[in-house]
Amino acid sequence: MTKTRAGGVTNFDAWKHAYAARAENLAVSEVRALFSVVSRPEVVSLAGGMPDVAALDVNLIDKAYASLMANRRNYALQYGGGQGDLRLREQIQEIMALEGIHGSVDDITVTTGSQHALELISDLFLDQGDVVLVEAPSYVGAVGIFRHKEAQIEHVFTDHDGISPEALEETAERLLSEGKRIKILYLVPNFANPSGVTLTAERRIQVLEICKRYGILIVEDNPYGQLYFDQKPPKAMRSLDEENIVYLGSFSKILSPGLRVGYVLAPPAIREKLVLANESAILSPASFAQMLVSEYLSVADWQQQIESFRQLYKAKRDAAMQAVEQYLPKVATTRPAGGFFLWLTLPEGLNSKEMLPLAVTELVAYTPGTAFYGDGRGQENIRVCFSHPTADNVKVGIERLSRVVNQQIELIETFGKVD
Amino acid sequence: MADLRVLVLAGGISHERDVSLKSGRRVADALTDAGISAEIREPDGDFIGHLMATRPDLVWSTLHGAVGEDGSIQDLLQLSGTPFVGSDSAGARLAWSKPVAKVLVSRNGLATPASITLPRSSFKEMNAESVLAMVGTQLTFPIIVKPAKSGSAQGLTKVSEPKAFAKAMVDAFAYGDQVLVESFIAGTELAISVIDTGNGPEALPAVEIVPESGQFGYSERYTPGQTDYYVPARLPHQVLDQAAEIALVAHKALGLRHLSRVDLIVDESGKIWFLEANVTPGMTETSLLPQAVIASGNELSETYAALARSVAKA
C-alpha cells in the first residue's frame, strides 16, 4: 500500500512524475464525494440523469434474451467487428428515420454509449488549445471530455429557443480574430441536458449555415429526441445536411444505459477514421449488448414502450413543475417539452455548490449548475432530473430542496452576498 | 475457522459517507487477512435487527461524521451490549465538538490556538458585519474557519483577509450550526495516532503532512500524490517525544479509548499546539493512522486483529 521513497516520504503515487499533463485535472472532489449518499434509499436523488428502468417491461427483455440465446448465442459471446453488428446498424437506420435522417448503414458506427462516440470524435479532432463551442449550459459529460482533451471550451449564449445564432456568429468572429482554431460546435438540440430547452427549426437552419460558413463541424447529440411529451421536436439537424454534421444517438434513454450501446452517424471520411479509432480503443463494441438490443428491437413493440416512457416522464415533469411552483416560488425554471431535466435559476446571491452539504442533511441530491460550464459559471443554477424518482418522490425532493434554498437564503441575508 | 466475527459499520448518511465506505473496506480486508471474519454493514433500517440476530463478537465502526462520531451510534452499541472498537459515547461527544475538546485539553495544560465559537443563531440575532468585525479585532489574519463538528476538512477555509471572512462562514455553516474560528498557526502539521491493543494507549510515530497546495483540504487528503507524508516527521527527537506525550494527554483528557488520532501543529519556536482529536480516524489507503501503524514496524492486519481481539476479550 505505502509507497515510501528515500527519506521516509510517502505520497501514495509512485507514478506521479510519469503522468501525461492532461491527467493533472483528475482529482477527487468534495462535491463528487457528497453524491455518494444518493445510493441510500432515504435520499431523493434529483441528481443523476438516469432513466426509470423499472418502467421498462421486463418481459420484453426476457423475450429478447431468450431469442438471442436461441438464435445468435455463439456470435453474441464472440468478438465482433469494429463498426458494430450489421443487423443492429440496419435497425438504427430505421430509428434515425424517425428523426428525419436518411443515412447509409455503412456510415453508422456502434459505440459503447454515445459518450464513447464523443470521446472518439474529440480524439480525432481536438488538439490542445482547439476551441469547442457549446451551449450555455452544456452537458457535463461533454464538458469533461473536452476539458480532458485540453480544448478551450467556449459557451455560446442560449435562451429558451436554444443556442443563439447571433451569439454563435459573434463568438466565432471574435475567436477567429484572436487567432483561435474553432473545431467543433457540440449541441444537444432536443430537450437539452441540462437546460431542457429545444432548438427551434428556424435556428437549426441558421446554426447550420453559420457553421458551414466558418468550417465548424457540428456534433449533434440526440439522446432525448424520442422522449417528447406532446409534439415531436423539429427534425434532426442531420436531416438537413450530410457533410457537416456528426450525429450521435443512444439506447441509454429509450432502453437501458446499463447496456452501454450508442452510435454515431458520420460522413464517410470521418466514419473511416472512427471505425479505426474504435478498433484501436476497444477492438469491438460489446457483441452481447449489441445483439441483445438488436433482438429487443426485433421481438418487442419498442415504439409502444417509448410511448409509455413519454407518458411516464410527462407525468413526472408535471409533478416537478407543480412542486417548483408550490415550494420554490422565488426560483425560475425552464419548462421542458421532453427529456429529463428542469434548469432552475436561484435568487441572486445563492450558490448551488455551497448549498450541497445542506442538501445532504435534508436528504436530497441535485447537480450544481457549475458542473455544466467549463468556465466556473452556473453557481446560481441547479439541474433537477425528474426522470428517475417516482412522481411523488420528485415532489418530496423538491420540497426538501426548498428547505435547503431557504436556509441558504437566510445565510445570505445574514452575511450579505459573498463572492 | 475464524476465531472472531466482526461487524464493520460503514457508510451512513453524512458528508463523509464516501470516506467511511473506503475506511470500512480497508479495515474489513485487513481483518480478513488476519483470519478474522469481517462483514460490512450500513447503519440502515435493518441494522439493529441484524445486530441482535447475528450477535457478532464485536462491532468496528468506521462511520465518519455526526452519524459515527457524535456519540449516538456508541450509545446504541452500548445499549445492545455488543463490544465495539473505539471510544464510548461520552468520549466521542467530547471529541466531536472541537470547541469542547479544546477547552478540555487546555485545562489539562495543552496549548491550543485562540478561537471563538460562533453559533448560527448569534448571527440571526445580531448584526453579522459587526460580529465578524469584532472577531477580526480579536484574532489576527490569517485565520482558520471550520465547522465546529465535522471532519475531512470539509467546509474548512484559511482566511487571509477580512473580505473573505463572510464567504468562509457561509461555507462552514453549510456543514453545521456552529463555526469555529481559530488563529492560524504556521508550522509543521503533525498527526499522531494513538492505539491501545490491551497494554494501554501508545502513541505511534508522528506523520508530518506536507500538502502540495499548502492546505490539507479534501482533495489533498484523498487524491494520492497531492500530499507528501513524512514518517517519522522531520523534527528533532525531543519535539517528537513531546508531541507523542501531548497526543496521549489529549487522548486521556477526552476519555478516549482503543484508537484516536490527534492533530497538532509545531510552530517555528517548537511550541506544539493541539488542533483536534478524532475518535474514528480515517482508515483509507491515504489515511494517517494506517501510515503510522506501518511506520511503527507492524502490519496493518496484525495490529487491527490485535485490537479486535483485545476489545472482544475485555
pLDDT in tens, A370-406: 999 999 999 999 999 999 999 999 999 999 999 999 9
Task: Report the share of chain A in percent with pLDDT over 90.
Answer: 84
Does a structural domain hold residue A101? yes
Last residue of a domain, one of B144, B165, B183: B183
Domain count, chain A: 2
Assess A410–B contact: CB distance below 8 Å, yes or no.
yes
Does a structural domain hold residue B284? yes
Does a structural domain hold residue B32? yes
Query: Are B166 and A416 a contacting pair at CB < 8 A?
Result: yes
End-to-end CA distance of chain A: 41
Please indicate, yes or no, whether residues A288 and A383 belong to a single structural domain of this protein. no
Pick the residue from chain A with its C-alpha nearest to B132: A415
Grid cell, residue B95, equals: 471529541
Does a structural domain hold residue A396? yes
Please indicate, yes or no, whether residues A289 and A349 belong to a single structural domain of this protein. no
Q: How far apart are CA A357 and CA B172, in angstroms?
A: 10
Assess B133–A contact: CB distance below 8 Å, yes or no.
no
How far lies A225's CA from each of A97, A193, A195, A315, A373, in Å?
12, 12, 14, 18, 23
Please indicate, yes or no, whether residues B52 and B162 belong to a single structural domain of this protein. no
Asked if A292 and A68 count as a contact pair (C-beta separation under 8 A), the reply is: yes
Contacts of A34 in chain B (CB under 8 A): 15
Query: How close does chain A come to B126, measured CA to CA in Å?
Result: 9
Residues 6+ apart with CB under 8 A from A356: A31, A34, A365, A366, A368, B174
Please indicate, yes or no, whether residues B75 and B99 belong to a single structural domain of this protein. no
| Among A328, A293, A308, residue whose Cα is nearest residue A399 | A328
Please indicate, yes or no, whether residues B153 and B26 belong to a single structural domain of this protein. no
Contacts of B14 in chain A (CB under 8 A): 37, 360
Please indicate, yes or no, whether residues B152 and B206 belong to a single structural domain of this protein. no
Assess A358–B contact: CB distance below 8 Å, yes or no.
yes
Does a structural domain hold residue B55? yes
Please indicate, yes or no, whether residues A378 and A264 belong to a single structural domain of this protein. no
Work out the average pLDDT over A334-344.
97
Closest by Cβ to B224, choosing from A13, A30, A414: A13
Query: Are A37 and B17 a contacting pair at CB < 8 A?
Result: yes
Span of A13-17, A18-22, A56-60, A377-381 with lowest mean pLDDT: A13-17
Peptide bond into A194 cis (omega under 30): yes
Asked if A128 and A150 count as a contact pair (C-beta separation under 8 A), the reply is: yes
Does a structural domain hold residue B313? no
Asked if A314 and A52 count as a contact pair (C-beta separation under 8 A), the reply is: no
Does a structural domain hold residue A6? no
Last residue of a domain, one of A248, A277, A299: A299
Does a structural domain hold residue A325? yes
3-state secondary structure of B84: strand
Q: Which 3-state string (H, E, C) describes A33-81?
A: HHHHHHHCCCCEECCCCCCCHHHCCHHHHHHHHHHHHHHCHHHHCCCCC
Asked if A348 and A408 count as a contact pair (C-beta separation under 8 A), the reply is: no
The helix (H) or strand (E) run that includes residue B273 is strand B272-278
Query: Are B229 and A355 a contacting pair at CB < 8 A?
Result: no
Residues 6+ apart with CB under 8 A from A380: A345, A346, A348, A350, A351, A352, A369
Contacts of B166 in chain A (CB under 8 A): 415-416, 418
Query: How close does chain A come to B314, measured CA to CA in Å?
Result: 31
Query: Are B228 and A10 a contacting pair at CB < 8 A?
Result: yes
Name the B residues in 167-186 with CB < 8 Å from any A CB.
167, 169-171, 173-175
Does a structural domain hold residue A12? no
The DSSP output letter for A251 is: S
Assess A392–B contact: CB distance below 8 Å, yes or no.
no
Assess B229–A contact: CB distance below 8 Å, yes or no.
yes
Query: Are A16 and B17 a contacting pair at CB < 8 A?
Result: no
Q: How far apart are CA A165 and CA A171, in angstroms?
A: 10
Contacts of B13 in chain A (CB under 8 A): 37, 40, 42-43, 360, 363
Grid cell, residue A36, equals: 455518494
pLDDT value of residue A7? 56
Assess B285–A contact: CB distance below 8 Å, yes or no.
yes
Residues 6+ apart with CB under 8 A from A178: none
Contacts of B294 in chain A (CB under 8 A): 1-2
Above 80 in pLDDT, residue A417? no
Q: How far apart are CA A337 and CA A198, in angstroms?
A: 8
Q: pLDDT tens across B12-50, in order?
A: 998 889 999 999 999 999 999 999 999 999 999 999 999
Q: pLDDT tens across A189-224, in order?
A: 999 999 999 999 999 999 999 999 999 999 999 999
Domain count, chain B: 3
Assess B15–A contact: CB distance below 8 Å, yes or no.
yes
**CATH number of domain containing B139:** 3.30.1490.20
Please, where are the H alpha helices in A328-370? Answer: 352-361
Please indicate, yes or no, whether residues A237 and A326 belong to a single structural domain of this protein. no
Q: pLDDT tens across A167-177, in order?
A: 999 999 999 99
Pick the residue from chain B with its C-alpha nearest to A2: B291
The helix (H) or strand (E) run that includes residue B58 is strand B58-61
Q: Residue type at B116?
A: I
Assess B166–A contact: CB distance below 8 Å, yes or no.
yes
Contacts of A30 in chain B (CB under 8 A): 154, 217-219
Ranges of residues in chain B with a pLDDT under 70 are 1, 152
Contacts of B205 in chain A (CB under 8 A): none
Query: Are B285 and A363 a contacting pair at CB < 8 A?
Result: no
| Among B194, B190, B189, residue whose Cα is nearest residue B261 | B194
Grid cell, residue B290, equals: 494506517
Does a structural domain hold residue B19? yes
Please indicate, yes or no, whether residues B78 and B166 belong to a single structural domain of this protein. no
Q: How far apart are CA B26 and CA B126, in angstroms?
A: 47
Assess B154–A contact: CB distance below 8 Å, yes or no.
yes
Does a structural domain hold residue A17? no
Q: Crossing angle of helices B300-313/B288-295, nearest 10°? A: 100
The boundaries of the domain holding residue B216 are: 94-111+185-298
Does a structural domain hold residue A11? no
Which ipTM score applies to this complex?
0.85
Assess A17–B contact: CB distance below 8 Å, yes or no.
no
Assess A33–B contact: CB distance below 8 Å, yes or no.
yes
**CATH number of domain containing A351:** 3.90.1150.10
**CATH number of domain containing B201:** 3.30.470.20
Please indicate, yes or no, whether residues A398 and A267 belong to a single structural domain of this protein. no
**CATH number of domain containing B65:** 3.40.50.20
Q: Residue type at A164?
A: S
CB atoms within 10 A of CB A103: 20
Residues B124-131: contacts with CB within 8 Å, 24+ apart?
A: B124/A410, B124/A414, B128/A414, B128/A415, B128/A416, B128/B166, B128/B169, B129/A416
Query: Are B124 and A355 a contacting pair at CB < 8 A?
Result: no
Grid cell, residue A336, equals: 421542458
Last residue of a domain, one of A251, A266, A299: A299
Please report the number of interchain residue pairs, chain A to chain B, with beta-carbon separation below 8 angstroms. Answer: 109
Per-residue exposure over B238-259, b if at least 16 CB sit within 10 Å of its own CB, e if not: ebbebbbebbbbbbebbebbbb
Residues 6+ apart with CB under 8 A from A324: A331, A333, A342, A344, A384, A398
The helix (H) or strand (E) run that includes residue B241 is helix B237-253
Work out the average pLDDT over A79-87.
96
Assess A5–B contact: CB distance below 8 Å, yes or no.
no
What is the DSSP code string of B153-214? TTT-EEE-SGGGHHHHHHHHHTT-SEEEEEE---EEEEEEEEE-SSS--EEPPPEEEEETTS
Confidence of residue A6 (pLDDT cuts 50, 70, 90): very low
The boundaries of the domain holding residue A380 are: 23-55+304-414
Please indicate, yes or no, whether residues A328 and A380 belong to a single structural domain of this protein. yes
Please indicate, yes or no, whether residues A337 and A237 belong to a single structural domain of this protein. no
Looking only at the bridges linking them, the beta strands covering B143-147 and B178-183 are antiparallel
Please indicate, yes or no, whether residues B120 and B102 belong to a single structural domain of this protein. no
Q: How far apart are CA A192 and CA A197, in angstroms?
A: 5
Quickly tell me which residue has 445580531 as its cell.
B126
Grid cell, residue B75, equals: 450509545
Please indicate, yes or no, whether residues B166 and B260 belong to a single structural domain of this protein. no
Contacts of A418 in chain B (CB under 8 A): 166-167, 170
Does a structural domain hold residue B305? no
Confidence of residue A2 (pLDDT cuts 50, 70, 90): very low
Name the B residues in 207-226 with CB < 8 Å from any A CB.
217-219, 222-226
Please indicate, yes or no, whether residues A363 and A406 belong to a single structural domain of this protein. yes
Please indicate, yes or no, whether residues B201 and B104 belong to a single structural domain of this protein. yes
Please indicate, yes or no, whether residues A159 and A291 belong to a single structural domain of this protein. yes
How far lies B176's CA from each of A5, B21, B65, B120, B281, in Å?
39, 22, 11, 9, 20
Q: pLDDT tens across A100-142, in order?
A: 999 999 999 999 999 999 999 999 999 999 999 999 999 999 9
Assess A178–B contact: CB distance below 8 Å, yes or no.
no
Asked if B261 and B244 count as a contact pair (C-beta separation under 8 A), the reply is: no
Query: pTM score, two decimals?
Result: 0.90
Grid cell, residue A263, equals: 452510435
Strand runs labelled E in A93-175: 108-111, 131-135, 152-156, 158-159, 162-163
pLDDT value of residue A53? 95
Please indicate, yes or no, whether residues B168 and B225 belong to a single structural domain of this protein. no
Above 90 in pLDDT, residue A284? yes
Query: Are A11 and B154 a contacting pair at CB < 8 A?
Result: no
**DSSP β-bridge partners for residue B203:** B194
Q: How far apart are CA B89 and CA B68, in angstroms?
A: 10
Query: How close does chain A come to B7, measured CA to CA in Å?
Result: 19
- What's the CA angle centered on A305, arms A300 and A310, to 5 degrees? 165
pLDDT value of residue A1? 41
Does a structural domain hold residue B307? no
Does a structural domain hold residue A419? no
Please indicate, yes or no, whether residues A376 and A309 belong to a single structural domain of this protein. yes
Assess A9–B contact: CB distance below 8 Å, yes or no.
yes
Asked if B182 and B117 count as a contact pair (C-beta separation under 8 A), the reply is: no
Disruptive mutation site among B14, B17, B175 for chain A (greatest number of A CBs within 10 Å): B17
Asked if A231 and A310 count as a contact pair (C-beta separation under 8 A), the reply is: no
Last residue of a domain, one of A299, A315, A349: A299
Q: pLDDT tens across B115-164, in order?
A: 999 998 887 777 788 888 888 888 889 999 999 997 767 889 999 998 89
The helix (H) or strand (E) run that includes residue B33 is helix B17-33
Asked if B251 and B261 count as a contact pair (C-beta separation under 8 A), the reply is: no
Please indicate, yes or no, whether residues B152 and B196 belong to a single structural domain of this protein. no
Residues 6+ apart with CB under 8 A from B146: B98, B153, B155, B156, B157, B172, B179, B180, B182
pLDDT value of residue A27? 74
Asked if A220 and A248 count as a contact pair (C-beta separation under 8 A), the reply is: yes
Please indicate, yes or no, whether residues B143 and B233 belong to a single structural domain of this protein. no
Does a structural domain hold residue B303? no
Please indicate, yes or no, whether residues B39 and B22 belong to a single structural domain of this protein. yes
Assess A24–B contact: CB distance below 8 Å, yes or no.
no
Please indicate, yes or no, whether residues A268 and A321 belong to a single structural domain of this protein. no
Q: What is the pLDDT of chain A when averaged over all its residues?
A: 94
Contacts of B120 in chain A (CB under 8 A): 414
Please indicate, yes or no, whether residues A269 and A354 belong to a single structural domain of this protein. no
Assess B231–A contact: CB distance below 8 Å, yes or no.
yes
